[in-house]
Chains A and B, each alone.
Chain A
């Protein structure tokens, strides 16, 4: 009994490790056709689902970064296609999966940039507000107010992300478009909705970090005549620094991988933004929108994207864990 129990427990614990390893492995294997096809250049390629002739050298990212209208691209490809067909026939012979000497090019640059930018906007927006809430709850508000507001914040952190997305689509998007102009779905709206979503999460974690500051330290500072600002700036923040930074990084990780809150409001268009009020795309949204109708190489490309997202969030969280949130 004793032994069985121990083995069972051990097995369960290794299961977590096993799942993590299996996820990475399965994603890699499923993505392999795409990885072989596009290599690491995938990360810097801005076109998506565009036909291209084999003989044509892949454009360097610098050349493509300037928003190239998709239609022109396709027209170019068609023209080149005819031209090459006239001249010789063996150009595309090594290509076994696409017809003739063209292939469809997929690139991850647009969703990667969209993911990073929307997350950064979210962070710029949410950090000051979440810090304000955390400080307010732990240092400013009277006990009578701090408790219920604190509980409310924690409850709000548990609201499913799809709710934030829906609210963003129907209310917040038009509201923002009314102020800044542009579309009701855009990078800006996506970033702000993400920001609002992580505020309660970040505020709750930061408040916990701030509440670990010993009262003795604060009282000593007050006794020396320090104002509240000085106590918070010179005593509380330095003491709780690693916990606060950790909470920011965890929120960053959450915003990075968030699907539903963004899917409603980012627009799902493969294009770089000229202005922040333009629609664009992010990795989770591409995955959510295109998975069902993909197969073969295009499916493999999606797995490649998922692998990139997995790696990105893995790195973010690992950094948070290993540098800032060491549990004792």
Chain B
């Protein structure tokens, strides 16, 4: 009886794994077959208004890139503070928890927040509002990884640094952070990958534009928002373009993820 139950259980759990993987494979399969069908050079050379995706891809990367660029120093510094300066106090613990709560906050709520503080006062959607929303999403992720990575740094290294008379700043920057560099880099790449694929916080902060622009003060083209708009259009050609965009977006996200993995693996060896 025990053996039969055991058998049943093993079959069930393998089957569950298969079912899960089946759906995920199905998604990837449709994505590739639909996405590749519409892939051509003109997708990269034309703007959305001419049936291409050039402006929205560049727009999405620009917004996420700038958000990352501002988010990196803030996130890393905050992570350093929690791990190196905060000590083991209740306050530090509380801040850590808050950052985690922030990390899991619904992204659409961040969008409404930015809408209220940027879009309402300025009266129109803008690239900066999109950047701000992505920045808010991103910082807690970087804080968390930096914090975790610094925790792995052996205390002896810090003590050795202090012992030869280096200041806390030097120890932190030149020993601790250097030691944890690969891990932090992975964290940043993963955070970037997460932010690149975000739609909800951009829906009414950056909006999306059909035209080429690099002026962040204006309504800004966004790949994800465009995919949403294209996919809900009745026109088949538009839907096809949406699939192509979805394919490119996923390919991008997965590639950044793999890159992040590679960075952390290289370090470990």
| Residue of A whose beta carbon sits closest to that of B31 | A163
B81 at the interface (CB under 8 A from A): yes
Known A133-B20, A160-B198, A303-B116; contact A229-B5, beta-carbon cutoff 8 A: yes
Contacting residues, chain B, for A306 (C-beta < 8 A) = 108-109, 112-113
Known A9-B80, A133-B16, A167-B27; contact A313-B105, beta-carbon cutoff 8 A: yes
A23 at the interface (CB under 8 A from B): yes
In contact, B254 and A158 (Cβ under 8 angstroms)? yes
Known A160-B250, A263-B228; contact A132-B17, beta-carbon cutoff 8 A: yes
| Residue of B whose beta carbon sits closest to that of A133 | B17
Contact pattern, A 190-221, Cβ under 8 Å of B = 1, otherwise 0:
00000010011001000000000000000000
In contact, B113 and A17 (Cβ under 8 angstroms)? no
| Residue of A whose beta carbon sits closest to that of B113 | A23
B97 at the interface (CB under 8 A from A): yes
A217–B115 Cα distance when bound, in Å, is 53
Contacting residues, chain A, for B134 (C-beta < 8 A) = none
Number of A-B contacts (CB under 8 A): 259
Contact pattern, B 214-256, Cβ under 8 Å of A = 1, otherwise 0:
0000000000100110011000000100110010011001100
Q: In A289-305, which residues have CB < 8 Å from any B CB?
A: 291-292, 302-303
A30–B253 Cα distance when bound, in Å, is 35
Contact pattern, A 1-31, Cβ under 8 Å of B = 1, otherwise 0:
1100110111111111101101100110110
A292–B205 Cα distance when bound, in Å, is 10
Known A15-B78, A230-B2; contact A167-B231, beta-carbon cutoff 8 A: no
| Residue of B whose beta carbon sits closest to that of A162 | B199
A12–B135 Cα distance when bound, in Å, is 13
| Residue of A whose beta carbon sits closest to that of B102 | A20
Main SS of chain B's interface residues?
Answer: helix
In contact, B109 and A9 (Cβ under 8 angstroms)? no
A57–B133 Cα distance when bound, in Å, is 41
Known A16-B78, A20-B98; contact A288-B200, beta-carbon cutoff 8 A: yes
Q: Of the candidates A284, A291, A313, which one forms a contact with B115 in the assembled complex, judged by CB atoms under 8 Å apart?
A: A291
Known A12-B74, A229-B10; contact A166-B227, beta-carbon cutoff 8 A: yes
In contact, B97 and A322 (Cβ under 8 angstroms)? yes
Q: Of the candidates B10, B75, B81, B102, which one forms a contact with A140 in the assembled complex, judged by CB atoms under 8 Å apart?
A: B10
A58 at the interface (CB under 8 A from B): no
A87–B97 Cα distance when bound, in Å, is 59
In contact, A128 and B16 (Cβ under 8 angstroms)? yes
| Residue of B whose beta carbon sits closest to that of A226 | B2
| Residue of A whose beta carbon sits closest to that of B196 | A160
Contacting residues, chain A, for B140 (C-beta < 8 A) = 16
A202–B89 Cα distance when bound, in Å, is 31
| Residue of B whose beta carbon sits closest to that of A311 | B109
* Stretch touching chain B among A60-68, A94-102, A248-256: A248-256
Contacting residues, chain B, for A314 (C-beta < 8 A) = 101, 105
Among B16, B75, B231, B242, residue most surrounded by chain A Cβ atoms (within 10 Å): B16
Contacting residues, chain A, for B5 (C-beta < 8 A) = 227, 229
In contact, B242 and A199 (Cβ under 8 angstroms)? no
Contact pattern, A 150-186, Cβ under 8 Å of B = 1, otherwise 0:
0111111011111110110111000000000000000
In contact, B108 and A228 (Cβ under 8 angstroms)? no
In contact, B24 and A196 (Cβ under 8 angstroms)? yes
- Chain A interface residue count: which class? 35 or more
A260–B107 Cα distance when bound, in Å, is 10
A19–B231 Cα distance when bound, in Å, is 33
Q: Of the candidates B98, B109, B204, B250, which one forms a contact with A292 in the assembled complex, judged by CB atoms under 8 Å apart?
A: B204
A170–B17 Cα distance when bound, in Å, is 24
Known A10-B85, A263-B228; contact A160-B108, beta-carbon cutoff 8 A: no
In contact, A149 and B21 (Cβ under 8 angstroms)? yes
In contact, A257 and B108 (Cβ under 8 angstroms)? yes
Q: Of the candidates B2, B31, B105, which one forms a contact with A257 in the assembled complex, judged by CB atoms under 8 Å apart?
A: B105
> A133-B20, A322-B97 provided; 14 other pairs, C-beta below 8 A?
A15-B78, A22-B113, A23-B113, A132-B14, A132-B19, A163-B31, A163-B249, A166-B227, A170-B231, A284-B200, A306-B109, A309-B106, A314-B105, A321-B97
The 5 closest A-B pairs by CB, nearest first: A132-B16, A257-B106, A160-B197, A9-B81, A12-B77
Write the residues of chain B forming the contact surface with A, with a CB cutoff of 8 angstroms: 2-3, 5-6, 9-10, 12-17, 19-21, 23-24, 26-28, 30-31, 73-75, 77-78, 80-82, 84-86, 95-102, 104-113, 115-117, 136, 139-140, 143, 167-169, 172-173, 190, 193-194, 196-200, 203-204, 207, 224, 227-228, 231-232, 239, 242-243, 246, 249-250, 253-254, 257-258, 261
Q: List 11 A-B contacts (CB under 8 A).
A: A13-B78, A15-B78, A140-B10, A149-B21, A167-B31, A199-B24, A257-B104, A292-B203, A306-B108, A317-B101, A317-B105
